[in-house]
Structure 1
Amino acid sequence: MLTVITILVNYIDSQLELGVTKYVNSFCIVFILVIFLVQTTIWLIRNKAYKGIKQAMLHYFTVIKLRKSFLDAGYHNKRYYFNNEVADLPKVKLEFSGDLSQAKLFIENININKNIGDVSVSFALNNFIVDRSYLSNNENFYVFEIHDSNIDRQYKFDSFDAFKNQSALIDDYTLFIDKSISISLFGTLLVGMTGSGKTYALYSLILQMLTKNVHYNIYFADPKNSSLAVLGEKISKENTATDVEDIIDLLQKFNELMRQRKAEIKEKLTTKLEGTYADFQYEPYIFIFDEFASFQTVLQTMEKKKRDEVMKLLSQVVLQGRQLGFFIWIVMQKSDATLLPTNLRENLPVKFVLGNAEKQTYITAFGTGVDIPERYFELGQGVFTCPIVANTPKNCHFSYLDFDIMEAVTHLKS
């Protein structure tokens, strides 16, 4: 508009020779420059250009596309200004990680009878996809954790040395899952059908334990006497069992060691009341129970007294082991209540479901009413929950191990 006015003033002045152009032109030019500078400054601040122009551009185009999605989905409030109907859109905030591979998206909860789920958020995020979503603590915003799908989060190790170097970067009481996820030790449920990558996921975690500066005491129960038993015998033959009776004996031994640890830690709690085994530099104990369904099937044929004793042993570890450093890891193809008692499953803080599982598998693992990210999962990929890290199911990508596992274990043992 200012440009058009300037041209008109110049034309009129040239015709009438009024001599005002030397004043009007200067004023218009200064005014245009001021407006330009103000608008540029607002844009730079709004899009956080102080973090880099690349982030500013990504922020700008993402927010613009999201606002269009809100309009298309009708996710807005109606307001009237000077008898004109105006769409009052929710506020949008984006917080990117330093490398722009991840971000937190905050969308204002505008309290109307419209669900944010009706808005195609993922569609508006270009290459970013939603990991999980939840309401902020004050319920003013919907929070979406997103990541760039073009960035491969799965580690690929073509040598054991590379794997060992990565493990060395992580705390001794922490295990990495992929490039963005590391978790502390907890009781764990690992579910996955044949071909989902469940076994190699387990190998990845076991190998990490063997490379730590702290000694991990690993117990292996494999009622099918398969590959885990072979690996267990190589790592710790005296703590590996395949026969059901031997597994029960091993579980009793595990509980007895936990009872002794409980007495030791009790004395140290006077110095740190809420301290755990890691605070006092104790060695962790992990009881890996592969193909638990096979064990449970045989156990059900035994007398009730024996069944109750085994359930008591398992429950004691699950309920008391976190502070003491004793953990049960249960591995199975499905976690139905007929195969895994509900009280055990619900008290295992970490749960993995790998591969493209059936809906019922997700329900039995995570419970009803839990939203599962809809993805096609490749080998070693799936969803998990973990205290602090992921209180709702989140995507994970276990490492691809392109080296000889047994050779690596032999090297470590030597």
Structure 2
Amino acid sequence: MKKTYRMQRGFISFLFIGFFLILWFFFYKLYPLIVEQITIIQLPQIESKIFLIPVGLMVFTLFVNWSIRNKLWFGLFFSLHYYLMTKRIRRHIKDARFEDEREFDNRLVTLPKIKITFDDNRTRQSGKVFINNTIKFDKKLEDMRIDSALKGYVSERKYLSKDRDWYIYEFYSVDSHKQLKIKSASDLIEWSNKTADDYALRLDERATVPFHHMGLVGQTGSGKSFFIQMLVEQVLSKKVSHELFIIDPKRTDVYQMAKRTIGDERTGDKTNAIELIKQFHERMKIRQDELQDYFISNRNKTYRDAGLPALILLIDEFGALRESWKTLAKKERDEVDSILSDVAFMGRQLGCILWVATQQMNAQTMPTAIREQLVLKIALGDSDEQTYRTLFSSGVDIPPVQFTAGQGIYSFPGLASADKPRLLTVPYCSFLN
């Protein structure tokens, strides 16, 4: 059986402890009997407790080393959890035959240094595994998947540290992706406010993002409508009075919700969608004039720094809406595309945000100029390969997971790249039924 150098040191340490305990037992129990039986010579008196001193020192040293290595200052349960996770990873790496060396005719294995950090040391739902990189291990670490070594966790992406000294594996708990059930609007707002401010949205237990252009894809039954309504509820609950303009050509749940919450003036269907888009564009031009003087004296600032509310244009079922425009004159179609492109290109700094939702994503359902500006990309439920490649990137790596309603993937700068999107589990808001 292969052994690591740590195993060898531990074996030697316990061997010495056992040796001194045997000596202690001998001089505590047996030696006094021998002294009584032998009267020919006077045997010296030996205090048995002296052999417990090296035992105590070695046990104390082992305990201190274990405590430091497993961060006992965070608590006993944390340390035990940390120890078992590290031990399992080390065992899997050892079994993968990373490196063998011969020393004293024993087969010993040198393993890379491993560190684990949790995003929350109390819940330990997600975190990172750091594995020290060397020339010897670089190729193997690059190809290694550690999911099987993370009991109860899944690794979702891997990358090198900035100095390239460490391979970093981000992981999350399998339990953390159990869908949260929210029973009331007040519970939703309370949940959202834990991580999101007045200019941000909470998507699930792990992801909170600032207001930005969004592309949302989801087939029927994917939970897309529930997700949109959850976002609208969050926006309307903010202390800043953000303005929503909502278009739902099919007049489904999103349309009815918009009529109740924001009124007919900023709610549109297929018939008045173009008018509402033009109205939003005019509102954006007014906002641009409002911010000119502010931007001159405040470089690299945004509408948020000026304390202005966001203007959000949400278009649901965009593919179906754009399909209905084929009966219009080409000049009118091009004008609408031009307006939406203008919002996508210029709106972010002005606080004019474009949210587009559709069932499928391809070059026909959405112009490339608009699609490329959708920074927050979300796909709920299972979608076809073309949709994934169009929305995210041509080389997107889709996790091999069967998605149910409210589950999917997303990408956002700093959280997940378009090549390797992260899993998303949207809360189920039962009160929206």
Fold-level match, TM-score > 0.5? yes
Bigger Cα Rg: 2
Residue type of the alignment partner of 1:236: G
Partner in structure 2 of residue 36 of structure 1? 59
**Please, which runs of 5 or more residues in structure 2 have no aligned partner?**
1-14
Contact 1:219 1:236 in 2 (8 A): no
Q: Taking structure 1 as reference, are residues 161 and 113 closer, same or farther at Cα in structure 2, changes over 3 Å only?
A: closer
CA distance in 2, matches of 1:360, 1:351: 15
Contact 2:185–2:233 (8 Å) recurs in 1: no
Residue 159 of structure 1: which of 168, 177, 184 is its match? 184
Query: In the superposition, relative to structure 1, how do residues 341 and 108 fare at CA in structure 2: closer, same or farther (>3 Å)?
Result: farther
Q: 2:21, 2:55 within 8 Å by CA — same for their partners in 1?
A: no
Question: Is the CA contact 1:153–1:178 (under 8 Å) kept in the aligned structure 2?
Answer: no
- The correspondence of residues 13-412 of structure 1 with structure 2, limited to 5 A, is 14=34, 19=43, 22=46, 25-74=48-97, 76-81=98-103, 86-96=108-118, 97-99=120-122, 100-111=124-135, 112=137, 114-116=139-141, 118-151=143-176, 154-169=179-194, 170-234=196-260, 235-243=262-270, 246-391=272-417, 392-404=420-432
Query: Measured at CA, do residues 113 and 44 of structure 1 come closer, stay the same or move farther in structure 2, by a change above 3 Å?
Result: closer
Name the stretch that deviates more: 46-55 or 126-135.
Answer: 126-135
Q: How far apart are residue 22 of structure 1 and its match?
A: 1.4
**What displacement does 1:366 show?**
1.2
**Inter-CA distance 90–343: structure 2 relative to 1 (3 Å threshold):** farther
Note the alpha carbon deviations across 1:353-396, whole angstroms, 9 max, x for none: 11133333322221122323332323211111122333341122
Compared CA separation, residues 116 and 338, structure 1 to 2 (3 A): farther
Contact 1:70 1:119 in 2 (8 A): no
- Residues 42 and 19 of structure 1: CA distance in aligned 2, closer, same or farther (over 3 Å): farther
Are the equivalent residues in 2 in contact too, given 1:69–1:120 (CA < 8 A)? no
Q: What is the CA–CA distance in structure 1 between the aligned matches of 2:56 and 2:369, rounded to whole Å?
A: 69
Deviation at 1:55, TM superposition (A): 0.9
Gaps of 5+ in 1: 406-414
Cα deviations across residues 96-153 of structure 1 (Å, max 9, x unaligned)? 2132222221122334464446545122111122243322222222222222223456
Greater alpha carbon shift after TM alignment, 310-319 vs 77-86: 77-86
Q: Is the 8 A contact 1:382 1:396 kept in 2?
A: yes
2:110 partner amino acid: D
1:237 alignment partner AA: D
| DSSP 3-state at the match of 1:390 | coil
- Aligned CA distance change for structure 1 residues 373 and 21 (closer, same or farther; 3 Å): farther
The residue type equivalent to 1:130 in the other structure is S
Structure 1 residue 328, shift from structure 2 partner: 0.9
1:236–1:133: structure 2 CA closer, same or farther, 3 Å change rule? farther
Q: CA deviation at 1:180?
A: 2.6
1:263-314 superposed Cα distances (whole Å, 9 cap, x missing partner):
2112112443121111111111111111111122233454443333222211
**CA–CA separation in structure 2 for the residues paired with 1:55 and 1:5:** 32
Does the 8 Å contact 1:78/1:88 carry over to 2? yes
Distance in 1 (CA, whole Å) between partners of 2:109 and 2:214 is: 48
1:352 offset after TM fit, Å?
0.6
Residues 398, 379 of structure 1: alpha-carbon distance in 2 compared, 3 angstrom cutoff: same
TM-superposed CA distance for 1:332, in Å, is 0.8
Secondary structure of residue in 2 paired with 1:194: coil
The one-letter code sitting in structure 1 at the alignment partner of 2:270 is D
* Structure 1 residues 85 and 113: alpha-carbon distance in aligned structure 2, compared to 1, 3 A threshold: farther
Question: In the TM superposition, what whole-angstrom CA distance separates every residue of 1:224-272 from its partner, at most 9, and x where no partner exists?
Answer: 233322222332311222235x322222221121122112112112443
Q: Which amino acid aligns with 1:240?
A: T
Asked if the contact 2:270–2:321 (Cα under 8 Å) also holds between the matched residues in 1, the reply is: no
Segment of structure 1 superposing worse, 202-211 or 218-227: 218-227
Alignment coverage as a number of residue pairs:
402
Match in the other structure for 1:409: none
Q: 8 Å contact 2:247–2:255 — kept in the other structure? A: yes
Give 1:36's aligned amino acid: V
Bigger mean CA deviation after superposition, 365-374 or 196-205 = 365-374
Residue number in structure 1 paired with 2:10: none
Distance 1:153 1:175, change over 3 A: farther
Residues 143-198 of structure 1 show CA distances to partners (whole Å, capped at 9, x for unaligned) of 22222223456432222232233345531111111233221100001111111111
Contact 1:286-1:326 within 8 A present in 2 as well? yes
